[in-house]
Every structure is written in structure tokens, then in C-alpha cells.
RNA sequence: GCGCCUGUAGCUCAGACGGAUAGAGCAACUGCCUUCUAAGCAGUGGGUCAGGGGUUCGAUUCCCUUCAGGCGCGCCA
């Protein structure tokens, strides 16, 4: 849709260019008018050119229009309106042709190559393995996962990574906390560390350990058995995290250990590399990275007076490692509490020669958790928080993900767990899923008619060769492979049908925008719009009629909607159920 | 004090490098199930786009400023 308009205008400008004294073709804006009476697509190029051409926008629009009409474009009508908008309306044949193409090829512009197989890394969540994931991590997970799916759909080669901070004091503190609970559970009343993790999960881990090894380490000092508790607690914590994410529907390609960066000498190596570039210096007995050279507001310590590395040192190594692994683009998704960290990491990457546009940080703002409208205070240390696990169990993964993905990443989010539950029947996620389920149901009915050999079913049939007769999924595959053959799409004449076709043809535009902006939530809104159009249509018109031509055409339309819904939901990481 | 994010309908939020009469869901109210799933549809009401200034033919969008909320400003991780 966008392409056709852009082409028409580009050609027009190309032939007018010389007379206008233009050197190059300007950016051509194409948008969908708010009011559909105005047209199917519109451009504001004429208004944009007023300054350079020193002519009134309407005059420019007229000149463009007279050129465009010379071409044999797919337009039924083009008119100039308002302050200089050029509004386009497509011929119906164009809509039918493209619907047909969509049915046979899918959305060609999608995989066709925005990404061009470029490698892109998306790092997200990267929670410390010192406690269960909470709801904020859930938001990051939903966004990171959806963004990765989006980029994959756009033809990028995406690697999803979770960075595990398993080297620092925090895991030691985790071990110490578990150690203390272990001793206490066995009757040894040791002092619980001041900054220890107080959540119930610590005691649970201690219980597990007792089940495993009994009182083997009773009355041992932490110095004697600390390593055991640290590594054991950390491993259990990490496997919990992994399990929760799996149940949430999020998986990773790689779990990068911080500790491993140390063990492989990558931290030292990265610092040496910086040293060679003269970006390190000594001051006050410490070693500093001169990040101010790259726009940071102060230099940062990498090796402390006591000779220990800072957390930042391993992060330098980590990001250098990302570069060394040869990604074309690096995306970090962080919680809002880390945004102050952006300039220094950007500095690191600049120091190693990465150009700015190849590194992108997406800041995910905080989630304010409510229960019945009242804020729930969250503190990991104090052990008061709503875990992702609770959200999954109480609200459900699909609902939670959908809620997270109906907001931009950089706006704060209020998540009322009770509202999310209570509204479950009215929840937008079900609205979209319901449209998919309804269509699936129509195909089930169509298949029954065909089996019964009704006359009116001659125009459509199931191509069973496409179906995989695979155990319990037979129905599903049969539905997916339901081929509508030899149908005449021009039978789609209702306004609702035309509206749906147009919406479907807008998909590439919306998709490109989402990819370009790294904003998966645009998919969510599109799906709601499409579902709305479909529900409305469904209520007004019957798909399965006595007229085989109309039925065939409508089934085709349903198939196209179904494919779009399925594709969109897949990107969001939300299931597309056949029955509800 | 400085920096980043946010402020749009009663509530939760969209608004696509600045464009036409500002949108959705929920909540409220009125209708619609003998026919493919009523988790649905049709309709009604609801706005100082936080306030003020500026740039522009045109600003919810860009700039400045004030106010409000959130988050950061360690030789912590």
C-alpha cells in the first residue's frame, strides 16, 4: 500500500525535479488518514516542499497530481484536500490482487529483508540470581521476547541473551543468607547477615539443601563451607529463574556468565585493550577509564584501590565480548533504575570503535504493582514482592504479556493484579484470541459441510496433503491446511470486507514502523484493530452461505485475517487458541 | 542541586521523522443470541492533550520554562 503511493510520487517528482530545481528526491511521507472518507492513503510531501520550492502547497500538490495521473497507477481516485494533502484511493482490483498475493505468499515484505540477515543481539532481563524474578522482570521479559520475535520476523538473525551476574558479592551474600537459614533450621542460632536476603525462598533453599545433604555442614563456619552454599544456592536460584521464564514462554539462546568472563581472562583482556588505546589511567591508587572522552560526565573506576575489579570492569569485558562476537547491532534492555549507566557503556563501545547507531538501549520503566488499587511495596532484601511466578499463576502468561505489550517501554505502568484477573473475560488479549478462535470455528464448520458433501462446498476444499497427520494435532493441521481454491475474491463487496482487506494491506507499513522503532507494542494495537473489524463483520454477515462463490471468497478473507492474527500473536509471544 | 523518563476521557493507555474533525479498552447508559463461539455486535455520553511561552503555513508531537510523579547521580552490585 505504502509502496504503491511512494512509487507514484517518486516518479512524479523525478519528472518534475529539473523544472523545480531539486537535486534529490525528498523523504516521502505516507500515512493512513484518520478519517477513512478522506482516502486509503495520504501524503504530505507537497506541504513539506513549500519552503524549498517557495510555492504554496496546493500548487505543488496540483503539479504532482497532474504527473501522477499520467502514470497507470492502482488508484481509483486521487485528490488534493485540506492544506495540501494528496489523498489516494485504491481501485478494488488492486485490493483483490494484493489479498490474493497475501494468501499465496504471506506478507512478502516481512521476511523479505528489512533485516538482510544481519546479526543482532538482544540482551534482556539479566536479573541477579539472588532471588526470584518479579513482575518488573516480567515486563522486560515480555518486551525483550517480543522485540526478538519482531526482528526475527523482519529477517534479522537474532540472538537472545541473559547475562548472569554470578561473580560478585551478591551471590556470596545469597550463599551466606542460605547458610544462615540452614544453620538456624538445624538449631544452630547463628546471626543472620544484616544485608542478607530475607525472603522465604531463602529458607526454602535451605530446606532443600537439608533434604540433600542433611546436617553435613552443621556448626561449620561459612569460611569452611561457603563455596558449597554459594554455588548450590546460586544454581537453584538460576534454575528457578529459568523455569519461571519457560512457563512465561520466554527462552534464551545464551546465558552468559560473568564469572566465566573472569575465568577466561576476558576482563583483564578488555582492560589491557583499553590500556593500549590509552583510555586508562591511574589516580588515587585506582585505575580509571576516561569515559569523559566519549561524553560521560565523569571518569569511571575499573580497578579499586584494593586491587579488586569493579562491577563496571566486567561489564566492559562483557560488551567488548559482544563486539568480538561480531553482531551488527547490539540491543540492551534495562530497567529504569539502570539508565544512568547508559553513557558509560556507550563510552566503552565507542572506545572500541562501534558507531553509535549500532548500540541501542531500551529502558523499560518501572511497574507499579497494585492489588485492588492499592500499591504493593516491593523490596527484594526484605523479601516483599510479587514474583513473576505469582503473576503467571494468578493472571496467566498470555494476559500478563499482552498487558505489558500494550504500553510503550518508556512509560510507567500500573499493573493491578486483581483487575487483570477480574477483567479476564473482558481482557483485550481474549478479544484478539477470540477472533482467531471464531475463525477457526468457521473452518471447522466449513470442513463439516464439505465432508457431508453439500453442493455449496464445491468452491472450497481441504488440501490434506499439507496437513501433518500428527497425533492430537490433526484438527489443527487440517485447519491450517484448509485451502480455499478457485475462489473469486471480487465477490467481497461489503464495506466491512473492503475495510478488512485494507487493514490487512496496512500490515507491512505498521510492521516496518514497529521494526524501525523497536516497538513491538504497535503489533498489539494493530491486532486489536483487526480483531475489531473482524468481530463487527462476523456479527453482520455470515461466512458460510448458500452461495458457493460468496462463501469461498469469505473463507479466503477469513484465512487472511487468521494468518495475520496468528503472525501477530506469535510475535507477541501470545498463544492463538483454536477454541475458547 | 544535576540527569533521564512520564503527564492525553472517570480509570488504564495508544496517537506511526510535525499534518486534516484527538482514539481504544475498562467503567456508565440503551438495544441485539431459533442460523458459522454473546470472551461478541450496534449505539449514547465523556477532553483546557498538566500550565505558560516559542519555532512553523500547521504543534498532543519539536525547543524553553513552571508544576506534578517515577528513576538515577558510589573505588555497591
| pLDDT confidence of residue A269 | 97
| Phi, psi (deg, nearest 5) at residue A90 | -85, 150
Strand B contacts (CB < 7 A) among A residues 366-395?
366
Low-confidence ranges of chain A (pLDDT < 70): 108-112, 378-384, 451-486
Nearest nucleotide by C1' from A166 CA?
A: B77
| pLDDT confidence of residue A434 | 96
Distance, in Å, from the CA atom of A371 to the CA atom of A389, rounded to the nearest integer, reads: 16
Q: What domains does chain A contain, in order, with CATH numbers?
A: 2-90 (3.30.1360.70), 169-230 (no CATH), 428-572 (1.10.730.10)
Per the document, the length of chain A is 580
pLDDT per position as a tens digit, A402-449: 999 999 999 999 999 888 888 777 889 999 999 999 999 999 988 887
Judging by DSSP bridges, how do beta strands A367-371 and A85-90 pair with one another?
unpaired
Distance, in Å, from the CA atom of A396 to the CA atom of A418, rounded to the nearest integer, reads: 12
Sign of CA dihedral A196, A199, A201, A204: positive
| pLDDT confidence of residue A293 | 93
Contact A298, A292 (CB under 8 A): yes
Nearest nucleotide by C1' from A285 CA?
A: B75
Beta-bridge partner residues of A280: A289
Distance, in Å, from the CA atom of A341 to the CA atom of A223, rounded to the nearest integer, reads: 34
CA of A52 to C1' of B48 (A): 36
Query: At a CB cut-off of 8 Å and minimum separation 6, what does A36 contact?
Result: A499
CA of A405 to C1' of B14 (A): 11
Nearest nucleotide by C1' from A57 CA?
A: B57
Largest CA distance in chain A: 93
pLDDT per position as a tens digit, A276-331: 999 999 999 999 999 999 989 999 999 999 999 999 999 999 999 999 999 999 99
CA of A417 to C1' of B45 (A): 29
- Other CB atoms within a 10 A radius of the CB of residue A309 amount to 20
| pLDDT confidence of residue A412 | 92
Contact A189, A165 (CB under 8 A): no
Q: Report the SS3 class of residue A265.
A: coil
Distance, in Å, from the CA atom of A67 to the CA atom of A256, rounded to the nearest integer, reads: 57
ipTM above 0.90, yes or no: yes
Nearest nucleotide by C1' from A406 CA?
A: B13
Instruction: Give kind and range of the element (H or E) at residue A183.
Output: helix A169-185
Q: State the DSSP string of A20-85.
A: HT-SSPPP--EE--SSGGG-SEEE-HHHHHHHHHTS-HHHHHHHHHHHHTTS--SEEEEEEETTTE
Judging by DSSP bridges, how do beta strands A30-31 and A41-43 pair with one another?
antiparallel
| pLDDT confidence of residue A484 | 59
Strand B contacts (CB < 7 A) among A residues 308-327?
308, 310-312
| pLDDT confidence of residue A462 | 44
Task: List all nucleotides in chain B with at least one atom under 7 A from a protein Cβ.
Answer: 3-7, 12-27, 35-42, 57-58, 69-77
- Relative orientation angle of helices A397-404 and A222-248, to the nearest 10 degrees: 90
A202, with CB counted inside 10 A (0-12, 13-18, 19+), is: buried
Number of H helices and number of E strands within chain A? 22, 17
Work out if A495's Cβ lies within 7 angstroms of strand B.
Answer: no
A449, with CB counted inside 10 A (0-12, 13-18, 19+), is: middle
Closest among A379, A382, A378, A387 to A198, alpha carbons compared: A382
CA of A533 to C1' of B42 (A): 13
Closest among A161, A160, A570, A159 to A401, alpha carbons compared: A570
Sign of CA dihedral A386, A420, A438, A141: negative
Amino acid at each position: 500500500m505504502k509502496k504503491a503511493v511512494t512509487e507514484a510520487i517518486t516518479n512524479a517528482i523525478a519528472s518534475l525535479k529539473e523544472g523545480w530545481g531539486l537535486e534529490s528526491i525528498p523523504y516521502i511521507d505516507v500515512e493512513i488518514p484518520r478519517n477513512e472518507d478522506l482516502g486509503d492513503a495520504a501524503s504530505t510531501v507537497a506541504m513539506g516542499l513549500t519552503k524549498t520550492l517557495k510555492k504554496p502547497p496546493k500548487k505543488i500538490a496540483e503539479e504532482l497530481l497532474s504527473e501522477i495521473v499520467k502514470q497507470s497507477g492502482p488508484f481509483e481516485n486521487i485528490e488534493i484536500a485540506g492544506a495540501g494533502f494528496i489523498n489516494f484511493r485504491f481501485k478494488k482490483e488492486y485490493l483483490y490482487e494484493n489479498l490474493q498475493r497475501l494468501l499465496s505468499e504471506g506478507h512478502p515484505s516481512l521476511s523479505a529483508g528489512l533485516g538482510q540477515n544481519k546479526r543482532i543481539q538482544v540482551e534482556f532481563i539479566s536479573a541477579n540470581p539472588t532471588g526470584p524474578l518479579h513482575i518488573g522482570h516480567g515486563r522486560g521479559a515480555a518486551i525483550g521476547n517480543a522485540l526478538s520475535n519482531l526482528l526475527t520476523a523482519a529477517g534479522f538473525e537474532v540472538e537472545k541473551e541473559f547475562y548472569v551476574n554470578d561473580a560478585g558479592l551478591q551471590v556470596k551474600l545469597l550463599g551466606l543468607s542460605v547458610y544462615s537459614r540452614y544453620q538456624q533450621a538445624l538449631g544452630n542460632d547463628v546471626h543472620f547477615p544484616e544485608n542478607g536476603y530475607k525472603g522465604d525462598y531463602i529458607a526454602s533453599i535451605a530446606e532443600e539443601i537439608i533434604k540433600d545433604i542433611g546436617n553435613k555442614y552443621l556448626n561449620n563456619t561459612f569460611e569452611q563451607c561457603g563455596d558449597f552454599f554459594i554455588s548450590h544456592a546460586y544454581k537453584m536460584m538460576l534454575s528457578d529463574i529459568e523455569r519461571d521464564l519457560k512457563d512465561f514462554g520466554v527462552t534464551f539462546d545464551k546465558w552468559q556468565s560473568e564469572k566465566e568472563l573472569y575465568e577466561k581472562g576476558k576482563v583483564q583482556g578488555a582492560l589491557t585493550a583499553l590500556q593500549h588505546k590509552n583510555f586508562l589511567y591511574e589516580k588515587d591508587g585506582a585505575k580509571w577509564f576516561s569515559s569523559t572522552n566519549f561524553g560521560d560526565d565523569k571518569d569511571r573506576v575499573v580497578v579499586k584501590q584494593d586491587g579488586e575489579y569493579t562491577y563496571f570492569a566486567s561489564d566492559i569485558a562483557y560488551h567488548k565480548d559482544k563486539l568480538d562476537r561480531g553482531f551488527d547491532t547490539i540491543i540492551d534492555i534495562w530497567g529504569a533504575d539502570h539508565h544512568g549507566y547508559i553513557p558509560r557503556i556507550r563510552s566503552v563501545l565507542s572506545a572500541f570503535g562501534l558507531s553509535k547507531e549500532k548500540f541501542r538501549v531500551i529502558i523499560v520503566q518501572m511497574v507499579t504493582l497494585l492489588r485492588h488499587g492499592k500499591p504493593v511495596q516491593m523490596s527484594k532484601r526484605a523479601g516483599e514482592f510479587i514474583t513473576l511466578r505469582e503473576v503467571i499463576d494468578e493472571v496467566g502468561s498470555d494476559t500478563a504479556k499482552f498487558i505489558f505489550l500494550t504500553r510503550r517501554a518508556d512509560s510507567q505502568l500500573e499493573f493491578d493484579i486483581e483487575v487483570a484477573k477480574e477483567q479476564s473475560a473482558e481482557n483485550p488479549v481474549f478479544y484478539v484470541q477470540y477472533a482467531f478462535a471464531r475463525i477457526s470455528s468457521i473452518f471447522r464448520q466449513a470442513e463439516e459441510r464439505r465432508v457431508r458433501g453439500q453442493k455449496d462446498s464445491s468452491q472450497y476444499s481441504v488440501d490434506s496433503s499439507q496437513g501433518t497427520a500428527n497425533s492430537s494435532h490433526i484438527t489443527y493441521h487440517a485447519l491450517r491446511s484448509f485451502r480455499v481454491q478457485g475462489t473469486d475474491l471480487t465477490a467481497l463487496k461489503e464495506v466491512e470486507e473492503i475495510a478488512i482487506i485494507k487493514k490487512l494491506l496496512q500490515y507491512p507499513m505498521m510492521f516496518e514502523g514497529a521494526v524501525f522503532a523497536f516497538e513491538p507494542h504497535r503489533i498489539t494495537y494493530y491486532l486489536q484493530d483487526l480483531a475489531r473489524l473482524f468481530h463487527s463483520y462476523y456479527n453482520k454477515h455470515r461466512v458460510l452461505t448458500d452461495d458457493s462463490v460468496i462463501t469461498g471468497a469469505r473463507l479466503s478473507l477469513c484465512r487472511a485475517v487468521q494468518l495475520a492474527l496468528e503472525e501477530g500473536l506469535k510475535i507477541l509471544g501470545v498463544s492463538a487458541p483454536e477454541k475458547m
